[in-house]
Structure 1
Amino acid sequence: MDIQVVNAMNYEEFVNVFGNVVEACPMITAAVWTDRPFTRMCALEKSIGDFIDNLPRSGKEGILRCIPDLAGRDLLRGTLSLESQGEQSRAGLTSLTPGQRSQLSELNASYKNRFNFPFVICARMNDRDTIIQQISSRIRNSPEHEIKLSIEEVKKICHLRLLDIFNQVPKAIKL
């Protein structure tokens, strides 16, 4: 997709195309539509990132609550978004052993109980072992630190989803 095409989209087209770059949060892309015209994909990405960064803590927590549990009930029910389904599959979360599934389910529940939002990690940049290690480690973080880390993970997911839409191959991903 070409940036001129993006800039020519009406509101509905824009939200339809970009509405899930932040999982289940089309209101974010709806809000940044007014920032057009964008000079490049990175300008659109910056606009989304700035919108998220300027939200109060409650807004950031709201975004995080929209993220599905990794290898959770939505995956098992087949109700994940196509993007999340592909991301979790590439990370090996669709082929967990019963022991790994149980472990991840327990970790997800403990994490959610502690922070009141699901564990968020860019699954496409990790594998199942790293994900399990990260959730085990990050559960000890302070809520403030975990919100910050989780929002950065949301932005990584957004970046990769934008690349998919723009049909670009990531040359280097800045972490």
Structure 2
Amino acid sequence: MSTQPLTLAAVNRMDEEAFVTRFGDIAEHSPWVAEEAGRARPYPDREAMVAAFADAVLQADEDAQRALLLAHPDLAGRAAIAGELAPESRSEQAGAGLDRMTADEYARFSRLNAVYSDRFGIPFILAVKGATKDQVLAAFEARLDNPADIEFATALTQVQRIIRFRLEDRVSE
């Protein structure tokens, strides 16, 4: 993937295959989000593109939404340790300091990931860009008390924030 952001005009000129190739990984291992969002082109501005991706997530049925959530890696989990994260996930987690944790911090994250997953049946999802590991931990612990339906909706909102950040990195105004 090129590191140069695309112009919106270039995005709007792409055929469907090129669009999905370029943006199919915006939503973690869920190219269907880009396929659906691409149908809203041409986008008048980047915000409309972000909204099309968000709408694709919100308009999906609950099974597709759950699959999207399940496609996300645990924060500071096994995939991170094994070096199996997607490049953007790796960068986002590193930016929050999740790649530089003490053994105690890693153990705490592992415990919270397990408790959260057992309680809600999905991984804990937080748009960590701009956050510190302490802020991530605080959010983790605060959200454990949410009712399941609220937490499902919160996780979807966090996916939409992740999508926004990634699109802002890839597409210029």
TM-score (norm 2): 0.93
Aligned-pair CA distance for 1:167:
4.4
Q: Distance in 2 between matches of 1:16 and 1:164?
A: 16
Aligned-pair CA distance for 1:91:
0.3
Match of 2:155 among 124, 128, 150: 150
Is the counterpart of residue 27 in structure 1 residue 28 in structure 2?
A: no
Quick one: higher RCO (CA 8 Å, sep 6+), 1 or 2? 2
Match of 2:75 among 41, 49, 70: 70
Is the counterpart of residue 125 in structure 1 residue 130 in structure 2?
A: yes
Whichever residue aligns with residue 142 of structure 1, its letter is P
State the SS of the aligned residue for 1:125.
coil
Size of the alignment, in residue pairs? 168
State the SS of the aligned residue for 2:125.
coil
Aligned to 2:86: 81
Structure 1: 5+ residue runs without aligned partners?
A: 169-175
Q: Which runs of 4+ in 1 moved over 3 A?
A: none
Match of 2:95 among 79, 84, 90: 90
- Does structure 1 conserve the Cα–Cα contact (< 8 Å) formed by 2:37 and 2:55? no
RMSD, matched Cα: 1.2
Aligned identity (percent) is 29
Structure 2: 5+ residue runs without aligned partners?
A: 1-5
Match of 1:10 among 7, 15, 27: 15
Q: Distance in 2 between matches of 1:133 and 1:69?
A: 16
- Post-superposition Cα deviations, 1:18-48, rounded to whole Å, max 9, x if no partner, equal 1122111111101222221111111111111
